[in-house]
Structure 1
Amino acid sequence: MSSRRASRRRTTLALLTAATVVTALSACATGEPAPPPGDTPSVTSFAPLFGGSATVPAPNLGGSAPGSLVSVKPLEGNEQLEDVDARVERVVYRSTSGVDGSRTEVSGVIAIPPGTPPPGGWPVIAFGHGTTGVLDKCAPSDFSTLVGNGSMMASMIQSGFAVTLPDFQGLGVRGYLNPFLDGATYGNNMIDSVRAARNLDPTGVSTNWTAFGHSLGGLAAWGAADRDAAYGGGLSLKGTMAMAPPADMSGLADKAQAGTLTGDQRVALIFALQSLSWTNPTLDLNRYRTPSLASKWNLLLDCTAPLDEVLKTRETVTNADLKPDTQADTDRLRTLLEQWAVPKNPVTGPMLLMFGTKDELVDWQWTQAAADKACRIGGFIEIDKRMGEGHGDLESDRGLPWLKDRIAGQTANNTCPPRT
């Protein structure tokens, strides 16, 4: 392996695409069964898990406002975060559905650096994780490994950031459904995770924050920037980095009709159809899947099933299994996916958008079209299109330095064409 390739492997975000969700979660589950889905933790201790740290105040528990803490419990066993002496809590906090505006509860992880915070508190990175599934047992915070996200969080901690890792609505808290690919819901969840961090450490966490994510997490980061003006009051979003985001996946409908979906896109469509059926009770899944696929559906959604069984089942799914019955069904699917897409509003602050031309999950033309739309409606965006790179192998070297520059107030590049 060349040194460049080895460096890329080391620095690429350890996040999950729709094609690899079961791999990571099943690897965790083999040695550590998930707790009961939606199990709400109770407060047991607010002391850090390491010695010699600064005294931390008790968190602000209770309340009904977005970001209010419902529960807090130390998360133990993540070696990467323990190695950097981070204070790590598994929290449940209040948020808002982007689908219907209802109040929700979302779980996640908050990690705070050791020692004395800088004046104004630790700046925050809201870190959007990749796809882990759509069921309530698919939450990264239900696993001490955090499904491979601990290493990147540790790097952020060492760079002087507090870090939030929201599970996203419907993952980790029973009673709520996951709206897969809904940028508004994920954006609200990201913003409220920062509020939750401030409630966890009222004096040590800053109002200054950034959003960062890859794949589904890239959509969440973009969604946060899209929602910030309307929803992010009281916080100061300094910058957003979205890598390979599935910003607008409405093109899946026409590719399903044409029979040209990639393997990664078939998995993503299965997750999307399930979520859409939850939020649209009149949507008949059987108009979008064959009886053969319906018989495998539950296994394909199960993020903790044996890995080899799921992978073998995925190999049996064909494009013919996911062809909408009629053109009207295709049109409805496209419309529903468009409703969840970003952008809807101008992004707050600068955004770095990275994507590759060999992406097998998100066609690069879809991302380019979303970027062009964002520029037209008033975005301040640096568009970094990587020739020959795919979904999971984007160079991420720019990530932390770029975010640190935003916190420092340095000017970002804007490659959007001038508005006339």
Structure 2
Amino acid sequence: MSKGMRSAAIFAALGLATVQPALAAQAPLAQTVPAPAAGALIDSRPLASEFGLDGAAQAFAIRYGSTDGITGSGIVPVTGALFIPRGTPPAGGWPVIAWAHGTVGIGDDCAPSRNPRSARDRTYLDHWLGEGYAIVATDYQGLGAPGPHPYLNSRAAAYSTLDAVRAVLGGDFGLANKVLLVGQSQGAGAAFATAGYAADYAPGLDIRGTVATGIPNLAAVPAGAAGDDEKVDRIIAYLLYIASAAQQIDPKYDPAAVLTDRAMPLFDRAADTCVVDMFGAVVEAGLTRANTFKTDFWRHYAPMLTHAGYPTLSIRTPIFIGTGAEDIDTPASMQKALVEAACAAGSVIEAHVYPGLDHSGTVNRSFADSRLFARSVMAGETITATCAPGGKES
């Protein structure tokens, strides 16, 4: 397999499963009301209890308008959830965390607001609720609402995240315009991109900082890091999502030009199979990179994947980056390179490396450090940049 195909395999590993397959306990919000404006709340209602968080006093399913991130113009409806912490709000209202989730799938039934969250994410988000933050959690454009989900499109994820914050601030939820962006894996990339788009797209939001764990860095994909071409590899599920989303957005992308006859049945399932089941299907089918791809996946989909990059590495507000030293989904070397590049561009990065931890294990372990970072940026305190190779070992 070519170096480009290996790059594509690593590139695809941008998120972990954060939800289980969708349940039927809560029907989706009605789809018939048009979105009135970007950042405007369309409707809200109580979120089904099985989709909630233990630390929330109230939880709402929300729908709001957002700018179409595929075209950069026009309004689309986007769904999500809002969680209000327990206790008495501070003067001025609860500060807000904008949560950006990892890969869940590309079909509407995979939307996080329609599913119970993973044990890892429930624990993590409950930690933030316990710190006194409300959490607005976008599903991203096209997940849970009409239209294709532009998987890994950083502009679409950023617009969805920023408009979710504007929507709930405009509602009667008792929130303050004091915002922290938080994301894991694909969502870490979304949070970083959101911080880059915020100044121009949503200048009225008071974004204090960003917390990112397992962040991807496509500019530093290590050649040959994808592993054994003959080994059954669940990461192929991510590549099938990329192919399916690309064809939905632009039919010129012909999956049969890249995928083998053996892989095409799984491609056909990718549009509506959530990631946990997709992992299982890939393994059951015995898919390897050798028996899945006819040609260079990366080269074929490179034009679509350019939308996954960051708009800038020069971020105006501080950023916490937590990296597992044993992370192979978004390798630690990739994350280190991003820290160095962002620091060189003038961003203030507080980097932490966690020995012995993988992609998922870093999420909750990093909270002891990120909560202190969050307290500092919310208080307007200066963050000391840690741009040396490897950052802090924690």
TM range (shorter): 0.7 to 0.9
> In the alignment, which residue of structure 2 is the partner of 1:118?
90
Could you tell me which of 318, 321, 330 is aligned with 1:350?
318
Give the conservation status (yes or no) of the 8 Å contact 2:322–2:353: yes
Give the direction of change, closer, same or farther, for the CA distance of 1:231–1:261 in structure 2 (3 Å limit).
Answer: farther
2:340 is paired with a residue of what secondary structure?
Answer: helix
Look up the match of 2:162.
191
CA RMSD of aligned residues (A): 3.3
Q: Give the TM-score normalised by structure 1.
A: 0.77
Look up the match of 2:391.
none
Assess if the C-alpha contact under 8 Å between 2:152 and 2:307 holds in 1: no
- 1:14-413 matches, within 5 Å, as 18=15, 20=17, 24-26=19-21, 29=22, 32-33=23-24, 39-40=29-30, 64-78=36-50, 81=53, 83-84=54-55, 86-102=57-73, 103-114=75-86, 116-143=88-115, 145-148=116-119, 149-173=121-145, 175-201=146-172, 204-248=174-218, 251=221, 259=229, 263-303=233-273, 307=277, 311-315=280-284, 316-323=286-293, 325=295, 330-394=298-362, 395-396=365-366, 397-413=368-384
Change (3 A) 1:74 1:376: same
SS at match of 1:200: coil
The structure-2 alpha-carbon separation of the partners of 1:320 and 1:39, relative to structure 1 and needing over 3 Å to count, comes to farther
Deviation at 1:294, TM superposition (A): 0.2
Q: Residues 90 and 319 from structure 1, CA distance in 2 versus in 1: closer, same or farther, beyond 3 angstroms?
A: same
Q: How much does 1:356 deviate?
A: 2.6
Q: CA deviation at 1:80?
A: 6.2
Cα displacement string for residues 88-118 of structure 1 (whole angstroms, at most 9, x for unaligned residues): 1100011123331132211000112355432
Counterpart-to-counterpart distance in 1, 2:315 and 2:131? 25
Q: Secondary structure at the match of 1:105?
A: strand
Label 1:367 to 1:275 Cα distance change in 2 as closer, same or farther (>3 A): farther
SS of equivalent residue, structure 1 residue 189: helix
| Uncovered stretches (5+) of structure 1, i.e. residues with no partner | 1-15, 44-61
For 2:70, the aligned partner's letter is V
Q: Secondary structure at the match of 2:236?
A: helix
Q: 1:413 to 1:34 in 2, by over 3 A?
A: farther
> What is the number of residues matched between the two proteins?
370
Residue 364 of structure 1 deviates from its aligned partner by 2.8
Provide the identity percentage.
27
Aligned residues of 1:125 and 1:163 also touching (Cα < 8 A): yes
**CA offset at residue 389 of structure 1?**
2.6
After TM superposition, the score normalised by the length of structure 2 is 0.82
Amino acid at match of 1:408: A
| Aligned mates of 1:355, 1:361 — CA distance in 2 | 11
